[in-house]
Amino acid sequence: MYLSAIQDLYNNEVVAWHLSERNDLLLVTKTVDMLCEKTDLTDALLHSDQGFQYTSKPFNRKLADLESSAAILDVETALTMPVSNRSFHI
C-alpha cells in the first residue's frame, strides 16, 4: 500500500490523504482532489520531493488550473530541511 498525504506545515495537521495499491500519478492527484473538496488552493504552495508524479506535466497542469504551484525540492534540500525530518508513524 502507498500513502500520499498533504500536511499543513503551520500546525502539522494532515489535511488530505489517500491510500492506493499503486504508486502512480492517480494517487497524488486524488490526494489533491480531496484537499480541493475542503479548501481553496488558490495561491497554495505544495512542497514535494522529485518523484515522477510531482514533476509530471499532468500534475503541474492540474496545479496551474487550481492557480497553485509546486516547489520541487532537490534531494539535498529535501534531506536537510527540518520539515523532511518529520515522518508518519503507522
- Name the residue with higher pLDDT: 18 or 80: 18
Q: Sorting pLDDT into bands at 50, 70 and 90, what band is 61?
A: confident
Coil vs helix vs strand at 62? helix
Give the residue-averaged pLDDT of 5-26: 90
Segment 36-45 shows an average pLDDT of: 83
Q: Model pTM?
A: 0.73
Give the C-alpha separation, 75 to 60, whole Å: 19
* N residues, the chain: 90
